[in-house]
């Protein structure tokens, strides 16, 4: 007689987004089953009545809170969902957080005090901010990246490395339970240098335009971002881009046993895939 053992199932929030879509791939590649938790599949962070169906029967979850992990709504939502998950027997939770973001600490604490077997993955700025989402739209549409980062250096991380770290954490038993992992790319680059690397990879003339954080907030509201959300992002950018994160960590090497992907490789591959074609 053959005994069939069930694969563990991971509920992946934000499965249609930058990190979540790669977490889906990495978790499947690690031999686990995935339950995608997005609004089109009935899961809504803003509607707690939708959570139990997404959580029930899963063994672990990847939690990303939309827009920003440092919002008050994130602390409330992550804490409440984590408590509900634990109540349903789903204890293994991995939260995507942001490195150096003081505003994210209440969200991390809400997870840690939920009774879950938690791991926090604090990530540097994503390389994919340059190829997917609003910053990428600016580069594609008018060849400019308008952003309040001055000349600060950042170790941009490829979201595929974040996803592989999450999958490794979920398949490593208790090794990373109760731990906060800081993950960065392998090299410090200013936003100006990053845009120059994208420019080199695409052959297009692209420009970085640094602006003050407050002016950027007005730029966001001009594009329809609600004022409260723009205000939070301005506060986050003002703290995150003050140089506190201008150093590397070895989180990716610690967990994956290899160096993180370099920004130049990301830019070359994304250019080849047409990421900046209009």
Ligand X SMILES: NC(=O)c1ccc[n+]([C@@H]2O[C@H](COP(=O)([O-])OP(=O)(O)OC[C@H]3O[C@@H](n4cnc5c(N)ncnc54)[C@H](OP(=O)(O)O)[C@@H]3O)[C@@H](O)[C@H]2O)c1
What residues line the site for ligand X (CB under 6 A)? 14-20, 38-40, 43-46, 64-66, 68-69, 96, 98, 123, 125-126, 129
- Cβ at position 246, least distance to ligand X in Å: 15
Closest CB to ligand X among residues 2, 40: 40
- How many C-beta neighbours within 10 Å does residue 243 have? 13
Q: What is the rounded distance in angstroms from the CA atom of residue 184 to the CA atom of residue 198?
A: 19
Q: Are 81 and 65 in contact (CB under 8 A)?
A: no
Q: In what order do the strands lie in the sheet with 33-37?
A: 33-37, 9-13, 60-63, 92-98, 117-123, 179-183
- Cβ at position 204, least distance to ligand X in Å: 22
Q: What is the rounded distance in angstroms from the CA atom of residue 220 to the CA atom of residue 228?
A: 11
Q: Which residues contact 213 (CB under 8 A, 6 or more apart)?
A: 148, 234, 237, 238, 241
Closest CB to ligand X among residues 44, 173: 44
Closest CB to ligand X among residues 75, 271: 75
Closest CB to ligand X among residues 7, 67: 67
Q: Are 107 and 78 in contact (CB under 8 A)?
A: yes
- Cβ at position 135, least distance to ligand X in Å: 9
- Cβ at position 18, least distance to ligand X in Å: 4
- Cβ at position 238, least distance to ligand X in Å: 15
- Cβ at position 2, least distance to ligand X in Å: 37
Q: Are 266 and 127 in contact (CB under 8 A)?
A: yes
Closest CB to ligand X among residues 81, 271: 81
Closest CB to ligand X among residues 135, 203: 135
| DSSP H or E segment with residue 98 | strand 92-98
């Amino acid at each position: 007689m053959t005994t069939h053992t069930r694969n563990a199932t991971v509920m992946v929030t934000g499965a249609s987004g930058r990190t979540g879509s790669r977490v889906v791939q990495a978790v499947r590649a690690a031999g686990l089953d995935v339950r995608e938790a997005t609004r089109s599949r009935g899961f809504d962070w803003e509607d707690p009545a939708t959570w139990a169906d997404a959580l029930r029967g899963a063994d672990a979850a990847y939690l990303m809170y939309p827009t920003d992990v440092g919002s008050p709504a994130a602390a409330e939502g992550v804490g409440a969902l984590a408590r509900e998950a634990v109540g349903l027997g789903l204890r293994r939770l991995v939260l995507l957080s942001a490195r150096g973001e003081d505003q994210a600490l209440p969200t991390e604490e809400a997870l840690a005090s939920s009774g879950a077997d938690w791991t926090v993955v604090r990530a540097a700025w994503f390389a994919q901010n340059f190829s997917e989402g609003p910053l990428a739209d600016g580069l594609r549409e008018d060849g400019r990246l308008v952003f309040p980062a001055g000349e600060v250096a950042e170790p941009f991380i490829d979201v595929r490395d974040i996803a592989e770290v999450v999958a490794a954490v979920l398949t490593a038993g208790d090794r990373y339970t109760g731990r906060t992992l800081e993950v960065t790319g392998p090299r410090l680059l200013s936003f100006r240098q990053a845009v120059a690397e994208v420019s080199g990879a695409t052959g297009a003339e692209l420009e970085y335009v640094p602006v003050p954080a407050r002016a950027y907030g007005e730029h966001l509201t001009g594009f329809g971002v609600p004022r409260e959300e723009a205000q939070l992002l301005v506060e986050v950018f003002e703290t995150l881009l003050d140089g506190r994160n201008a150093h590397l960590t070895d989180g990716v090497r610690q967990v994956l046993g290899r160096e993180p992907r370099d920004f130049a490789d990301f830019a070359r591959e994304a250019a080849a895939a047409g990421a900046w074609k209009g």
